[in-house]
Structure 1
C-alpha cells in the first residue's frame, strides 16, 4: 500500500495560494477607509487639474494676426482675432519675428486650395487654424519641437502619478510584511503556503490595485480633456498613455518585490525606514530627474533606458516625438529583464528573512540564507 505526502502548501496548488493571498491583499485595502478616501481625493485632484487647465486655456485674449490686402477678407469679421493690415508679405513676417503679432496670413499663389498660408514663429495659433474648414499651409520661422510648458506639465503628470502610486503602495506593502512578522501571523501563513507564493500573492494583489488606480486616473484625464475640448492634447497623449501603463505595470512589480523584501528584513515598524529608504530614493529619482531634465534630449534618452526612470522618461519622449518607434520596445525588454532579476533577488531575501526576528537582518546574510 503506497503512502502519499501532504504538499507544503497544505493541499493548495501554487496558483490557488497566490490567488488567495492576492485576494486577501486587495480585500484588506478595499475595506480600509483611509485607502478609499485617499484614492477618491487623488481622483478628484486629477479631475480638477484637467478641468482647470482646460478652462484656463479657453480664456485667452484675441489672437493678433497680421494680414495683407489680399488676405484681409478671408478673416474679416471672425471673432477672437485682432487684425493688423500691412503693405506686403515682408512687413507681415517682420511683425511675426518682432513678436508684435502671433501669426501672419499671407498670400500663397501656388496653393490652389486656399491661396494663402499661415506664418508663425514657433507654432501656429490653434485658434486661427480652427477657423478654417481645412488647415492651410503653415510656415514656422523658428520651429520648436513642442510647447515647453506642455512638455513640463506632461513630465510632472507622469512623474507624480508614478511617484505617488509606487511609493504609497510599496510602503504600505512593506508595513504589512512587518506587521505580519511582529504579530507572528506570518508563521501561520507559512505553515500553509511557501514564502515565495506569499510574496507573489502580495505583489500581484498590490499591482492590481495600483493598475486600477492608474487606469482610473487615465479615464478621468481622457474625460476631462474631452469635456474641455482639448482634443489636440488628447490625440498626442493617446500612445504615451498606453506605453506609460505598460511600463508602470512592470516597473511597479519590480519595486513592489523590493519593498516586500525590505520589509521582511526588519521586525519593527520603526525600523522600516532603514531598509526602504534606498528603494524610496529609486522611486523619487525618476520624478526629479525627468522634471529637471525634461528639455535635455541626451539626458532623457539615457533616463528612458534605465529601469527605474523608464516608466516616466519614455512616455514623455514619445509625447514630444523624440523617440523612434523601436526605442520603447528595447527599453521594455531591459525593464523586463531587470524585473526578473529583481524578483529573484527579492524572493531570496524575503524567504531568508521572513522568520528571523529581533534586529535588522543584514543584506549579506539575507542573500546567503
Structure 2
C-alpha cells in the first residue's frame, strides 16, 4: 500500500525537470546581484546604441573632395557637404581610397555632367539628390561593408555570447559544486532522476540567458529607432534572428558541458581545473571572429565551428557573405554537436555527482 502510494506520488521525469527549472529561475530572480547586473547590462547597451547613433549624426555633412574644375558643383551645398580641395583627379581618388572623404568629384564625364562622382564601395546615401544632375559613378572597390561597422557588429555579437556563456556557465558550475559540498544533491537525487536535475539546471539558465538576449534585442531596436538609423536596423533584422537561434543551441551545448565539468570536483576552489578548457573553447573562437572579421576565410571557417558559429554565422549574414543554405548547414552541425555534448555531459554528470573528495578524472567519469 505504501509503495503504491509512493510510486504514484513520485514526479515524472518532465515534472522533475520543471521543478528544477523553476528552482533555478526563481533563485536568480530573487538574487539582487543578478537583477542589478542585468539592469546595468541593459543600461550600458541602451547608452551605447543611442550614443553611437547620435555620434554618427553629430556632423551630417558628407565629406567630398573636389578639384579646381569641379568645385563649382558643390559651391552652394556647404551646409550639406564638407568640401576638401584636391589638386587633381588622382589626388581626389587617393583621398577617397584612404577614407579621408566619402566621395570625390573629378573632371570628365559625358555632357551635360562635366564631372564624375568617385566613391570607394558605394555612393554615400543622400549625396546624389543634392546634385542638380546625376553624374556618372566610378567605384574604386566593389562590395563590402564599412570596416568600423562590421567590426562593431562582430564585437557586439561576440561580447554578448561570450559574456552570457561565461557568466551563466560559471553560475551553473558553482551551483553544482555547492550542492555537492552541502550534500543537498543527495537529497535531490533521492527524489528526482540525476538527468532531470541536469536538464532542469540547463533549461532554467537557458531561459534566463535567452531573456537577456531578447531584452538586448529590444533595446537595440528601440535605440536604433530613436536615433533614426532605419537602414542599419533593417540590415540587422535577419542577423539578430539568426543570432538568437544559434545562441539558444550554443548556450545549451556549453551549459551541459559546464555542469558536467563542475560535477567532477567537490570544492569551489577546484572548479577552474575542469572549466578552464571550456572557457578557452569559447574565448579562442570569439577572438578569431572579432579580430579576423575582415578575413573571409577565417570568418567562413569559424561560422561552422560549433563554439563560434553563434557569432560567426550571424556576422556573415549581416555582411551578405553567406549563401541562403549556409546558416542552415551550420545550424545542423551545431545541433548534432549539441546532442552529442548533452549525451556526454549527462554521462559525466551522472557518474561524478556523488563522488566526493579528489577530482574525478575524465576517463573515470566517462567509464562510470
Contact 1:263 1:272 in 2 (8 A): yes
- Alpha-carbon deviation of 1:15? 1.3
Structure 1 residues 129 and 342, CA gap change in structure 2 (3 angstroms): farther
1:351 aligns with 2:350: yes
Structure 1 residues 353 and 137, CA gap change in structure 2 (3 angstroms): farther
Q: TM-score, normalised by structure 2?
A: 0.88
Q: Which residue of 2 aligns with 1:213?
A: 212
Q: Describe the superposition over 1:165-186 as per-residue Cα deviations: whole angstroms up to 9, x where unpaired.
A: 0100010011001111111111
Contact 2:17 2:196 in 1 (8 A): yes
SS of equivalent residue, structure 2 residue 64: strand
What 5-or-longer segments of structure 1 have no aligned partner? none
**CA–CA distance in structure 2, aligned partners of residues 289 and 84 of structure 1:** 38
SS of equivalent residue, structure 2 residue 365: helix
**CA–CA distance in structure 2, aligned partners of residues 44 and 325 of structure 1:** 35
- Alpha-carbon deviation of 1:226? 1.2
1:229 aligns with 2:228: yes
1:103 aligns with 2:103: yes
SS of equivalent residue, structure 1 residue 126: coil
**CA–CA distance in structure 2, aligned partners of residues 133 and 36 of structure 1:** 56
What 5-or-longer segments of structure 2 have no aligned partner? none
**CA–CA distance in structure 2, aligned partners of residues 101 and 4 of structure 1:** 81
Contact 1:96 1:102 in 2 (8 A): no
Q: TM-score, normalised by structure 1?
A: 0.88
- Alpha-carbon deviation of 1:115? 11
SS of equivalent residue, structure 1 residue 59: coil
**CA–CA distance in structure 2, aligned partners of residues 358 and 135 of structure 1:** 78
**CA–CA distance in structure 2, aligned partners of residues 5 and 52 of structure 1:** 63
**CA–CA distance in structure 2, aligned partners of residues 308 and 335 of structure 1:** 8
**CA–CA distance in structure 2, aligned partners of residues 342 and 110 of structure 1:** 67
Structure 1 residues 353 and 94, CA gap change in structure 2 (3 angstroms): same
SS of equivalent residue, structure 1 residue 335: helix
Q: Which residue of 1 aligns with 2:127?
A: 128
Question: Counterparts in 2 of 1:1-369, with a 5 A limit?
Answer: 4=4, 6-7=6-7, 11-60=10-59, 62=61, 63-64=63-64, 66=66, 76-77=76-77, 79-82=79-82, 95-99=92-96, 102-104=102-104, 118-129=117-128, 139-369=138-368
Taking only aligned residues, the RMSD between alpha carbons, in angstroms, comes to 3.1
Contact 1:162 1:248 in 2 (8 A): yes
**CA–CA distance in structure 1, aligned partners of residues 198 and 356 of structure 2:** 18
- Alpha-carbon deviation of 1:74? 8.7
- Alpha-carbon deviation of 1:116? 9.1
**CA–CA distance in structure 2, aligned partners of residues 186 and 117 of structure 1:** 75
Deviates more, 1:155-164 or 1:144-153: 144-153
Structure 1 residues 110 and 314, CA gap change in structure 2 (3 angstroms): farther
SS of equivalent residue, structure 2 residue 141: coil
Contact 1:66 1:101 in 2 (8 A): no
**CA–CA distance in structure 2, aligned partners of residues 135 and 201 of structure 1:** 63
**CA–CA distance in structure 2, aligned partners of residues 128 and 262 of structure 1:** 57
Contact 2:38 2:212 in 1 (8 A): yes
**CA–CA distance in structure 1, aligned partners of residues 118 and 301 of structure 2:** 35
Give the number of equivalent residue pairs.
362
- Alpha-carbon deviation of 1:287? 1.6
